[in-house]
A and B are shown apart, each in its own frame.
Chain A
Amino acid sequence: MKARHLLALLPPTALLASGWVANRVEPMVLGLPFLLVWIAGWVVATSLVMWFVYHLDHRPPSA
């Protein structure tokens, strides 16, 4: 288990915790209720985080 793999735990944790940490309508962002923005935002973040993890995993081994 490396540090970057802990990073990958972040989006699932944020998504699972949605109901406790983001269960609000306000502030609306782009016209969407906050809970929906929170979930959609973390879904996009999942992609970015996994991209980051993938590239770190596929780095050529340094000397």
Chain B
Amino acid sequence: MNAALVIIAGVFLFALGLGVRARGGKQMNLSEWAVAGRSFGAWLMFLLMAGEIYTTFTFLGASGWAYGRGAPAFYILAYGAVAFVASYWLAPPIWQYARDHGLVSQPDFFRHKYGSRALGILVALVGVVAMVPYLVLQFKGLGIIVSEASYGTISPAVAIWLGAIGVVLYVVVSGIHGSAWTAVVKDILILGVAVFLGLYLPFKLHGGIGPMFEAIEAQRPGFLTLPARGQSASWFMSTVALTAIGFYMWPHSFGSIFSAKGADAFRKNAIVLPLYQLVMLFVMFVGFAALLSVPGLTGTDADLALLRVSLLSFDPWVVGVIGAAGVLTALVPGSMILMSASTILAKNVLYPERSTDDPQVARAAKLAVPVVAALSLWFTFRGGDSIVALLLMGYAFVTQLAPSLLCSLLPRNPLSRTGAIAGIIAGEITVAWTSLTKASVASLLPSAPGWFQDLNIGFAALLVNIAVAAIVSRFSRPRQVSA
């Protein structure tokens, strides 16, 4: 066992320890856990929201895409800012409605707004399905980190198993109690590591950020701009729009809106959080630095870029600190996602009629944890997608909830209950079918104009969703919903 693995294992045990300690304190029931008693002020909301920005996706995915794709990776910097502007107006009414009606989860919100139990169950299933690729990418990230930091002595497959067992153990031992403090430690560590690597590596390896980009432009002309076709300007626009819309549609993000003490917290966050996004810039610098120094990683191996360039440049103990930051960025969101998915499965799918505090519901939620983890593991070993591709798939699923959510916030909802359900189902079928067949707009509509073919397929599914929802609502009896 080398120094890097010792540090990573130590940080994991420390996080587990924080969880055990926190558990000794106040015991919370499921509903208190879900919305933390609606007690979070602007600062805690900031940490909660910011914590969701920094996942393995940021760390390995953003650097991997900068390495493998170049300019298309810039979308990662842009979408958060768009989402935060929207949240200034969208989050307060959602928060208000949830507080007035005592709602604790995303499916509750849809069910209540449309007065439809079926819609509640559908939304719950969509949330769980979308969270699987999100969880898969955290497992993948953990596997990459542990295997790379072991300098090849632990195979990626064994490392993924270790990572998954680690996340399940963490959830079982600490629940949400551990997550708050671990999230703070994680954010500080990742902030430090990202800024340090993003400045140090370009200067050490290439003599500065400017010379690094000039060398890339000389070696790979066109790599730092969007291509004319494929991941082009219209791909960029549709992907930024899709991920910005999807940002608050994730069950765990939507749920975090409910935890605020007041509506003003979101408005303040819309000011601060865009700046926080700039950290992505440094992570992308790492990917670009790796491009010139450790070339040759192709396909999904591009996700290894950050760790490979770190192995090249640092002693094992520094690699250990970087790996530990990476492990926390997978562990905290991974455990949040696993818990959200299990709770929703138990509360909103299996026992929609029971109270959240029913012991049967809590038991089912706990049993669902290893089941969801096992399912995600199966997908991890089966799929050959990069971290960013997995996240985009999850976004495509979860974004299908947006039209019926946004319409429900209007003074007079244009969508009927049946219309909302039909739209979501049509959108999800489109996403699932195109993910399985790897279809793109270009392969489906070979004669469409180029800019249209380059639209993100999730965006196209959203258009199908809206069209179906509008048509079905037109022909089904409009239902007066409570405002």
A residues near B, CB below 8 A?
5, 8-9, 11-12, 15-20, 23-25, 28, 30-33, 35-36, 39-40, 42-44, 46-47, 50-51, 53-54, 57
Contacts and interface: CB of A to CB of B under 8 A. Distances in A.
B78 A39 contact: yes
Identify which of B86, B234, B275 gathers the most chain A CB atoms within 10 Å of its CB. B275
B140 to A, nearest CB: 27
Given A19-B233, A50-B270, A40 B77 contact: yes
Taking residues whose C-beta sits less than 8 angstroms from the other chain, chain B's interface range is 35 or more
The residue among B85, B226, B235, B281 with the most chain A CB atoms within 10 A of its own CB is B85
Contacts of A54: 88, 267-268, 270-271
5 contacts: A11-B85, A15-B82, A23-B71, A25-B213, A42-B78
B217 interface: yes
Contacts of A50: 84-85, 88, 267, 270-271, 274
Nearest to B272: A47
Given A44-B274, A46-B81, A46-B85, A24 B240 contact: no
A19 B236 contact: yes
Interface of B is mostly: helix
B224 A33 contact: yes
Given A12-B86, A23-B225, A47-B272, 15 more contacts: A11-B82, A12-B85, A12-B244, A15-B82, A18-B74, A18-B236, A18-B240, A23-B233, A25-B225, A33-B71, A35-B226, A36-B281, A42-B78, A43-B77, A47-B274
A20 B78 contact: no
Interface of B: 71, 74, 77-78, 80-82, 84-86, 88-89, 208-214, 217, 224-226, 232-237, 240-241, 244, 267-268, 270-272, 274-275, 277-278, 281
Contacts, number: 116
A4 to B, nearest CB: 11
Identify whether the interface residues of A are mostly helix, strand, loop, or mixed. helix
Contacts of B270: 50, 54
Nearest to B80: A43
A33 B210 CA distance: 9
6 closest A-B pairs by CB: A19-B233, A31-B210, A19-B236, A46-B81, A33-B224, A46-B274
A35 to B, nearest CB: 6
Contact of B213 (A20, A24, A33, A40): A33
A60 B102 CA distance: 31
Nearest to B269: A50
A11 B81 contact: yes
Contacts of A30: 209-210
B93 to A, nearest CB: 15
Contacts of A57: 267
Contacts of B86: 12
A60 to B, nearest CB: 15
Contacts of A36: 71, 74, 77, 224, 281
A38 B118 CA distance: 45
B225 A43 contact: no
Contact of A47 (B78, B213, B244, B275): B275
A47 B81 CA distance: 8
A15 B210 CA distance: 23
Contacts of B235: 19
